[in-house]
Homo-oligomer: A and B are copies of this chain.
Amino acid sequence: MSFTVKFFPKNVDITLEDNVTVLEAAFRAGVEINSACGGKGTCGRCRVLVEGKVESAPSKQISQEEWDRGWRLACMTTIFGDAAVFVPEESRVEDLQIYESFTTGDVEELSPISTATYLEIPVPNLENNLGDKERLEACLRLSEGSLDIPIEMLRDLPKVVRDSGWRVTSVLDRSGDRPQLIDVNNWDTSGRNFGIALDIGTTTVVLALVDLQTGKTIAQASDYNKQIMCGEDVLARIAFAEDGGLERLRQLILESIDYLISQVVVLSDVCRPTVKKVCREEVTAMSIAGNTTMIHLLLGLHPKQIRYEPYVSVANLPPVYRAKDLDIKIHPQAPIYIVPGRASYVGGDIVADVLASGLHKRDETALLIDVGTNGEVVLGNKDWTVSCSCSAGPAFEGGEVASGMRAMTGAIEKVTIDAKFEPSYQTIRNDKPRGLCGSGLIDLVSEMFRVGLVDKKGHIQDVGSQRVRWNGDSREYVVVWAKDTKETAVSLAMKAKSGVWGAKTVQGNDIVITDGDIANIIRTKAAMFAAAEVLLDSVKVNFNDLDRVYIAGGFGNYIDVEKAINIGLLPDIPRDRFVFLGNAALGGAWSALLSRERREEAKRVYRSMTYLELTTNQGFFDHFTSALFLPHTEIEKFPSVMGRRKNG
């Protein structure tokens, strides 16, 4: 009997016939895992998270608590059935950093979620004998009895103020109407205070450490969401939760966040050698943007109802909890603010996009498009907004595409094709090419269409080039020959062995695009475009009426507008109206971390936004069907493309 092992984040799977260790399976699948001791179980460098049918010998390298959370040594774990393995960054041989930047919007005035204030408190005497707490309130200019203070902190207060000679730093939570004491300590006089902005994506988690005194970002880190081993998209995660996996998913996102916090804490030292390293206790606020399902999984809320009609969440505006309530390892009393979501499929990540774009404050009507595993579109201005969501598919994030990958080192991000159908490309960090990321795929399809390598329907044409070939199922176009891809020790070793392995990306190392891939990409762009058209129809506005089109999402930084219009992903309007926001969800979370006004705006956006459900919308299906062509069935919608194409 054979079984399948999936490796994440590389997203390759291998079919096994025999019971081998995770390390051996990874080797066969071309997944590189650290193993300094050569599989003896002593170096502890091959730590992985596993899920599924495995058996593992206990190891001194893994604590009981880690064991319970699913950590194992790859070399000491035998696979005997279907399984998923997440190889964390620290166990990967190569450091494939995800490249993300973010637009934050402006923050006119710093009013962060938490504020630290150094206080010299008047010493009590018979004339001024206020209680310690009321004395602190007076010093903070708060009315008596208005400060909430955790019981443990109130118990410590007399000692803290007296040990320091009445000189303390007080950290307040300003997220609510009523201030709450996060911390009072006597070991710092500078008012140092830090916060974290966090974007929890279905695939990627990005975190920024922010100095709350200055509003400056000190360090940023990103990694895969470790939950991908339990399902690649939102629906798969919900299904996993329904199978009793909710707590597992919560632990995995906490692991992901925790790893990134440890990264930025280290980076805070590297980036600012003259300033004392930030410690976790000094991080006293967090602002999180994420889609509704991701927020549910973080909070431990069951996402089941999100999956079934009428698609309701447990909460779209969760209260502000304390870090300790959610098991997030920063200051235990730190408030965890969550950007409110509008609906089950237009979450806080989209509201954060809006915040970062400023769409909700402008007179002119604008469109905002967020392309991720799900696609979301918002249309509006300062008076109204309307939004919808479509299942775009993961094509632009490298999913369900033969040689697809995230925007990491070695990803092809730009492509041109010459008259002889020979491609030129550019990779991230100019490293040896590893695969195609979102912007590379857009370029590639656009160029193939321009030179006639694909027709309107997206079928690859037999143009007589050796790069076009039949792969047994369909035609494919070879972008990079295997000999030009990166030759690692592992891939060389793999070639030396002559077994036939299951994982697609390993069957020969040519980087290709297939008919099936192009069909996927067309479905994705058609869904996005159709969603935008539904919103425009709903308020009787044309693309040409739009003042701005904001583009958000991890792939957005590298996108070539001209080529995106060419394939019909973006509307054919003047190019200067497009604004790239990068990771706007992170930007929105960042601005909410720093500004009370933005937090108020987030609530207003929640209140004023109309949500259109597309699953029951006939208009959407009509638009979608029309958009399943390059660039579109109604070619008059793309006048500049009509004029340019070689063999239209």
Partner of A315, one of B131, B299, B316, B606: B131
Q: Which of A262-270, A319-327, A400-408 sits within the interface?
A: A319-327
Verify B317–A145 contact, CB threshold 8 A. Answer: yes
Q: At the interface, yes or no: A495 with Cβ under 8 Å from chain B? A: no
- Determine the distance from Cα of A310 to Cα of B125 in the docked complex, in whole angstroms: 5
A346 to chain B, nearest CB (A): 11
Which residues from B are CB-within-8-Å of A319? 145, 147-149, 154
Task: List the B residue with the shortest CB-CB distance to A135.
Answer: B312
A52 within 8 A of B: no
Known: A145-B603, A304-B158. A126 touches B310 (CB 8 A): yes
Query: Which of B134, B149, B314 interacts with A154 by CB under 8 Å?
Result: B314
Q: Which residues of B contact A157 (CB under 8 A)?
A: 314-315
Q: Within the assembled complex, what's the spacing in Å between the Cα atoms of A249 and B468?
A: 85
Residue in B closest to A246 when the chains form the complex, CB atoms: B155
Cα(A130)–Cα(B148), bound, Å: 31
Partner of A301, one of B144, B154, B311, B616: B154
Tell me whether A317 and B133 are in contact (CB under 8 A).
yes
Q: Which residues of B contact A317 (CB under 8 A)?
A: 131, 133-134, 144-145
A49 to B613, CA, bound (A): 66
Distance between Cα atoms of A84 and B304 in the complex (Å): 59
A315 touching B613, Cβ below 8 Å: no
| With A302-B158, A310-B126 as contacts: A133 and B318 at CB distance below 8 Å | yes
Contacting residues of chain A (284-330) with chain B, CB-CB under 8 angstroms: 299-302, 304-305, 309-319, 321, 325-326
Say yes or no: B321 contacts A151, CB within 8 Å.
yes
A window 98-150: CB within 8 A of B: 124-126, 129-135, 144-145, 147-149
Q: In the complex where A178-B178, A304-B158 touch, is A311 in contact with B149 (Cβ < 8 A)?
A: no
Considering the chains assembled together, what is the distance between the CA atoms of A616 and B325 in angstroms? 48
Please give me the residue from chain B that is nearest to A303 by CB atom.
Answer: B158
Quick one: given A126-B613, A178-B177, A317-B145, are A155 and B312 in contact (CB under 8 Å)? no
Find chain B residues with CB under 8 A from A130 CB.
312, 316
Instruction: Report whether B177 and A315 are in contact in the complex, using a CB–CB cutoff of 8 Å.
Output: no
Known contacts: A144-B606, A315-B131. The answer to whether A616 contacts B126 by CB under 8 A is: yes
Q: How far, in whole Å, are A340 and B130 apart by their CA atoms in the complex?
A: 13
Query: Does A165 interact with chain B (Cβ within 8 Å)?
Result: no
Tell me whether A343 is interfacial, beta carbon within 8 Å: yes
Query: Is A154 a contact of B311 with CB atoms below 8 Å?
Result: no
A-B contact pairs, 8 of them (CB 8 A): A129-B310, A129-B613, A132-B312, A133-B315, A149-B319, A151-B299, A151-B326, A159-B302
Which residues of A pack against B, CB within 8 Å? 124-126, 129-135, 144-145, 147-149, 151, 154-155, 157-159, 176-178, 299-302, 304-305, 309-319, 321, 325-326, 340, 343-344, 603, 606-607, 613, 616
4 more CB-based (< 8 A) A-B contacts, given A129-B613, A144-B317, A151-B321: A131-B313, A144-B603, A145-B317, A155-B302
